[in-house]
Amino acid sequence: VMLEAVENHMPEVIIIDEIGTELEALAARTISEKGVQLVGTTHGNNLENLIKNPILTDLIGGIQYVILSDEEAKKRRTQKSILERKASPAFQIAIEINEQSHWIIHQNIQDSVDLILRKSYFSTQIRKLETNKKIYIGYKQVSSDLSTIFQHSNS
């Protein structure tokens, strides 16, 4: 239905509430690839939840295991078997809303996902609505360790 709406009406923006199925996630990414601006919601506590959720992973570009050559692994200072993003994410930014007055903003989902998959540090913007109704804006470096989330075997 979403793809039909894009093809028949050529909207500039589509708002999708509660993306929850693999088909909806794939449709969102396809719509994004057609140049339509997306605003959407889904359930999850943080961006890492989307990475490890096989149903919603298309929203962040999907992930795949890649086997690197010895030379490339040495150059990247990593293992030979790594996780990489398959495609561009459906959205440009992500806002995590875990509390009514506290938000974590990923200003570039593509960079955040890539850094999370590399088990590296990534930056987030923190916004808090203070009791005096002013909004505090700060930045935080976050460490990611997905080694316990993804267990890959070569069998």
pLDDT tens for 56-72 read 999 999 999 999 999 99
Per the domain annotation, does 150 fall within a domain? no
Residue 153 maps to a domain: no
DSSP strand pairing (81-85 vs 94-99): unpaired
Residue 149 included in any domain: no
**Is the separation of the CB atoms in 87 and 62 below 8 Å?**
yes
**HSE-up (13 A, CA, CB side) for residue 107:** 10
Residue 18, in any domain of the structure: yes
Q: What is the mean pLDDT of residues 14-39?
A: 94
Mean pLDDT of 101-113: 96
Average pLDDT over residues 78-91: 93
For residue 36, the enclosing domain spans: 2-144
What pLDDT score was predicted for residue 9?
87
Tally of structural domains, the chain: 1
Four-residue CA torsion sign, 86, 114, 65, 44:
negative
Nearest CA-CA partner of 47 in 100, 118, 3, 97: 97
- At 143, is the pLDDT very low, low, confident or very high (cuts 50, 70, 90)? confident
pLDDT at 113 > cutoff 60: yes
Question: Which of these ranges, 24-28, 65-69, 149-153, has the smallest mean pLDDT?
Answer: 149-153
Q: Is the pLDDT confidence value at 86 over 50?
A: yes
Structural domain includes residue 155? no
Q: What is the CA radius of gyration of the chain?
A: 17
15-42: average pLDDT: 94
Instruction: Give the H or E element holding residue 9.
Output: helix 2-9
Please, what is the average pLDDT of the chain? 89
pTM of structure: 0.84
Res 155 pLDDT > 80: no
Residue 61 in any domain: the answer is yes
41: in domain? yes
Q: Say whether pLDDT at 103 is over 50.
A: yes
Split at pLDDT 50, 70, 90, the class of 93 is: very high
Domain assignment of residue 151, yes or no: no
Give the contacts of 151 (CB within 8 A, at least 6 positions apart).
none
